[in-house]
Amino acid sequence: MEETQKIALIIGAGPAGLTASYELLTRTNIRPIVIEQSDAIGGISRTVKYKGNRIDIGGHRFFSKSDRVMEWWQKFMPFQSSFDCCESEESIVRKDEVAGPENDRVMLLRRRISRIFFLRKFFEYPLNLTLDTLGNLGVIRIARILVTYVRIRLFPIQDETYLEAFLVNRFGKELYKTFFKSYTEKVWGVPCSEIKSEWGAQRIKGLSISKAIKHAFKTFFAKDDEIGQKNKETSLIDKFLYPKYGPGQLWEEVASNIKTKGGEIIANSKVLKIDWINSETVEVTALNEANNEMIVYKGNLLFSTMPVMELIESMGCVVPDHIKTIARGLKYRDFITVGLLLKKLNIENTSGIKTVNGLTPDNWIYIQEGDVSVGRIQIFNNWSPYMVGDERYAWVGLEYFCNEGDKLWVMEDGDFINFAVGELVKLGMIELGSLMDSTIIRVPKAYPAYFGTYGEFDKVKDYLSSFSNLFLIGRNGMHRYNNQDHSMLTAMVAVDNILDGNLSKENIWAVNAEQEYHEVKGKKY
């Protein structure tokens, strides 16, 4: 008698959920059913289209220290050297230098250019000890930076429980106060002394002043042709791949492959209830918001990328009260992007790189000024020329970090756009009358936070790990600030475990917890 095909229910059609689905289809006999709450593909890695322009929510550089991820991406969208913007160090690629529609499914090689705007001046990011940087900082601040750095190297803070101590130990107190403290607190809305240091360990890893200096010398004397750049600290990556039409283009291609191979992706379906019938059967009840119909899906395995808070809530009375209390206390940071189509940007180009119509070459600019709320500005033209409908204009995204329900979140769209334009005028980056069109996008639970009840999160993790057929993957699924490639790796490792009969989940949690996450027990990651 033929064995019944197993089914995996996958909550969420972001990078982790779609990777798990594709891996199951191509490596196992398990059929995936993806249940997605929205009508979009890619989660926060989607591309939002607006009147011929495209928005990349948060900015997604396609690079990884994992060969496995780099090769996976290029199965769907290959990199072609004819689209290499970095062949010339003096110019940014234009639309007319990239092949037309017959080559739509390709990766462009982009040069990373980011700067910090502080004291109404521009600083290179990552910081370089150039004459411009030294001149902008001034002699007194430079002396304090050097003195406090030497002091902390001699007498480091022993307790690195919280992010402030983690950063001070690596950069000294003055540099921390100058370039890390205010921006980090703008992102998270709480003092660095209340954020667990795990965030720094994930996002900054081994970066320090000494490594930044070493990188500057290496970059000056040697050309690095490796696309993946696995030997560089993540914060020092200076090139990356990028889909021609933004990150969502790749995930839409993956979704199309999943459907072709027999997988199912169900949109507009909000998960309300999860029931374990036994150790091998799980039922997910979802509300199809398109037709207000309640549907029950039955499967053998469950992959969850939904916020842990909501997952625990959906499991109902089976969950112990103390686990529910911890889950309800988990915090998130929400995110708003204001897309502005502008006639012109008044931002100085100090890079020496020739640009289209004089536009500054930055991918994004970090705003450290305390008199405005905007945290970061993306210039979508420089991610790909195909992100903007008309290259004569600047298509930018102003990024605001907030909490769902606060004054920024509830502000009316028109008022918010006027507020954002006013901030650009205040910073001297545009003139009144420059705005041509605008849109606004709100993203709830964009960033899982390392405060609230996070200190007790291991209890929730251990409880959920006791369900042998449940796999937590992705950023919100694990309440971990993973990058896109890390989220994908958690899905890949989960499928590895299913094939290997490995009931432990520890290797999934080890992704992005170790610096050398691309080499685990001999496997190619």
- DSSP-derived secondary structure for 45-87: G-EEEETTEEEESS---B--S-HHHHHHHHHHS-EEEEEETTS
Average pLDDT estimate for 353-363: 78
Q: Which helix (H) or strand (E) holds 506?
A: helix 506-509
pLDDT band at 517 (very low <50, low <70, confident <90, very high): very low
pLDDT band at 360 (very low <50, low <70, confident <90, very high): confident
Residue 131: per-residue pLDDT: 75
pLDDT band at 201 (very low <50, low <70, confident <90, very high): confident
Neighbours of 386 (CB within 10 A): 21
Quick check: pTM over 0.75?
yes
pLDDT band at 443 (very low <50, low <70, confident <90, very high): very high
Percentage of residues of the chain with pLDDT beyond 70: 84
CA distance from start to end of the chain: 38
Average pLDDT estimate for 168-177: 93
Asked if 228 and 21 touch (Cβ cutoff 8 Å), the reply is no
Q: Is the pLDDT of residue 68 over 50?
A: yes
Quickly list H helices, 413-483. 413-426, 457-465, 475-478
Average pLDDT estimate for 466-481: 96
Average pLDDT estimate for 155-164: 95
Q: Is the pLDDT of residue 144 over 80?
A: yes
Instruction: Name which of 387, 369, 390 is nearest 379 in CA terms.
Output: 387
Residue 514: per-residue pLDDT: 53
Q: Is the pLDDT of residue 235 over 50?
A: no
The three-state secondary structure class of 340 is strand
Residue 35: per-residue pLDDT: 98
Residue of 225 and 394 predicted with greater confidence: 394
E strands of 36-193, at which residues? 47-50, 53-56, 79-84, 107-111, 114-118, 121-125
Q: Is the pLDDT of residue 525 over 60?
A: no
Residue 515: per-residue pLDDT: 43
Residue 209: per-residue pLDDT: 56
Quickly list H helices, 297-390. 308-314, 321-328
Domains along the chain?
7-42+248-329+453-524 (3.50.50.60), 78-112+331-448 (3.90.660), 128-220 (1.10.3110)
